[in-house]
Amino acid sequence: MAKRKKKTQPEESLDPETIKKLQLETFLKRFKTANITNKKRLVTGLFPLDRVLDGGIVLGSILEVFGTEGAGKTTLALVIAKAFRKIFPGKRVLYVDAEHALDLNWAAKHGISFSTDGQDGDIVMIQPMSANEAMDAVVDGAAHHDLFSLVIFDSIPALMAEEELNTAKTEHTTTSSVVRGVLPKLVTTMVRRLVPAIGDSEMTVLWINQIRAKMDMYGGGITTPGGYARQHAAHYRIQLSAKSMKPSDNAREITIKTVKNKHGRPYLEDTMYIFVNEGLSIINNNILAAEALGIIEKAGSYYKLSDGSSIHGRQALIEYYYEHPKEFTKLQHELYKFAEENVFVNPAKPVYAFQAERGDNHERLEKIGSGTEGNSN
C-alpha cells in the first residue's frame, strides 16, 4: 500500500512575516553568506607610516606602495614584514622577488632573515621566472592563511609574461601587438582571484609598484604600470617620494602620502628618514615625531627623560633609547596614546607591534589595549 504524502501547511495560510522568513532562508541556502567581522588594525610602530594610514593597517587588506627610485619602497615593505612577524609569530611572510635585486644585508639591518626552503628565517622568498608564475605564487600564498600572514609582491613592472618572453625571442621586440596589454590583463586576473581568497581572513597583500611618465596632450603627469583593476582593489595606496641627498647627509628625507584609504582619511602626508647606517630606523623616526608632537620635553639642546634626568643632543638621546629598549617602549606608549586620542580616527581595535631594539637583535612583541601577548588570532 502506497504511503500517503505528508500534508504541509499551505503557504496561503501562513502570515506574511513567516513567508518572508522562509523565502529568505531558501535564498541564503543557494549562496555563501558574508563573513562580517570587526577586523583589527596592525600598528607597525613606525609613526609616520601609521599616521598617514590613519591608525595602521587593517588586517585582510591590499596595499600598494609606489614611488620614485630610491624612495624606500622595499625598505618600507621590510619594516611592515617585521611587524607582521611580531604579531603572527606562528606564520611566515611570503616575499615574491620578481626584481631579483633584494639586498639581504640591508634586510638584516631591519631584523629580517630570509629562507628559500621554508625551514628557517622570517620570510620565505621565491624568485619566479615569469609573470604567470609570480601571479600563481601570490594567489596560492594568499590562500594559505595558516602558513602566511603577509604576501609581498616586488614588483609589478619587473614581470614579463610568458607570451612576451616567447615573442621577444622571435621578434626582438616587446612592443608587438601580440604582447601589448598582457601585463594589465594578468594583473586583472590576479586581482579577481586574490580578492575572494583573502576576503574572510587576516591575510594581507602588499604590492610594490613603480611610476612612469604619463604622456598625453593634457600635460602629462605620472601613472603606475599594471592597469586600473589593482587600483580599485587596493584598500591603501601609498606614494613615496625622495628628496635629493647630499654626500654629507647621513639620511634621506622621504615624503609618504596616502592617495587612497578605504579604512580612514586619504591624502594624509608625513615625512620619514632612511639613514645610511641603520636604514628605516623606528627609534630615530619616532623620536622626531614625539619631539614634533611635544611628547618629549626639550629645552634648547637638552631632552628631558621620564626619570627627570636630561640628555644633551638628539644623537645622545637616540643612543640612550637603543641601549634602554624598555624606556623606548614607554615612549612608544605615550606617543601612541596621544595619537589614539588626538590623531587617529580609525575605530578598529589596534594591535601594536613595537620595535625597540636594533635590527640585528631579537625584538619582542608588545601589545596595548588587549593586555595579552602572542598570536592575535
Task: Tell whether 261 is covered by a domain.
Answer: yes
Task: Tell whether 202 is covered by a domain.
Answer: yes
**Region label for 181, one of left (φ > 0), alpha (ψ between -120 and 50) or beta (otherwise):** left
pTM of the model: 0.84
Predicted confidence (pLDDT) per residue in 222-237, tens digit? 889 998 999 999 999 9
Predicted confidence (pLDDT) per residue in 304-316, tens digit? 887 788 999 988 9
**Helix 131-143, helix 182-198: angle, nearest 10:** 10
Average pLDDT over residues 35-52: 87
Number of neighbours of residue 352 by Cβ within 10 angstroms: 24
Task: Tell whether 359 is covered by a domain.
Answer: no
Average pLDDT over residues 12-30: 82
Give the amino acid at 36.
I
Q: Pinpoint the alpha helices (H) of the chain.
A: 16-29, 47-52, 73-87, 104-109, 131-143, 162-171, 182-198, 229-233, 282-293, 314-323, 325-342
Please name the residue that has the C-alpha cell 610568458: 162
Residue count of the chain, please give it: 377
Task: Tell whether 371 is covered by a domain.
Answer: no
Q: The sheet that has 114-115: what strands, in order across it?
A: 114-115, 123-126, 92-97, 148-154, 204-209, 62-67, 236-242, 251-261, 269-275
Instruction: Name which of 52, 62, 53, 41 is nearest 351 in CA terms.
Output: 41
**pLDDT at residue 268 greater than cutoff 90:** yes
Task: Tell whether 26 is covered by a domain.
Answer: no
Predicted confidence (pLDDT) per residue in 338-375, tens digit? 999 999 987 788 888 874 343 333 333 333 333 333 33
Least confident of 12-21, 51-60, 100-109, 226-235: 12-21
Look at residue 299 in the predicted model and tell me its pLDDT.
87
Look at residue 3 in the predicted model and tell me its pLDDT.
57
Number of domains observed in the structure of the chain: 1
The CATH number that applies at residue 64 is 3.40.50.300
Calculate the dihedral angle through the C-alpha atoms of 357, 363, 365, 368, rounding to the nearest 10 degrees.
10
- Which triple of cell numbers denotes residue 195? 580578492
Percent of the chain at pLDDT above 90? 41
Show the domain range for 167. 41-276
Task: Tell whether 328 is covered by a domain.
Answer: no
Task: Tell whether 311 is covered by a domain.
Answer: no
**Helix 325-342, helix 314-323: angle, nearest 10:** 110
Task: Tell whether 96 is covered by a domain.
Answer: yes
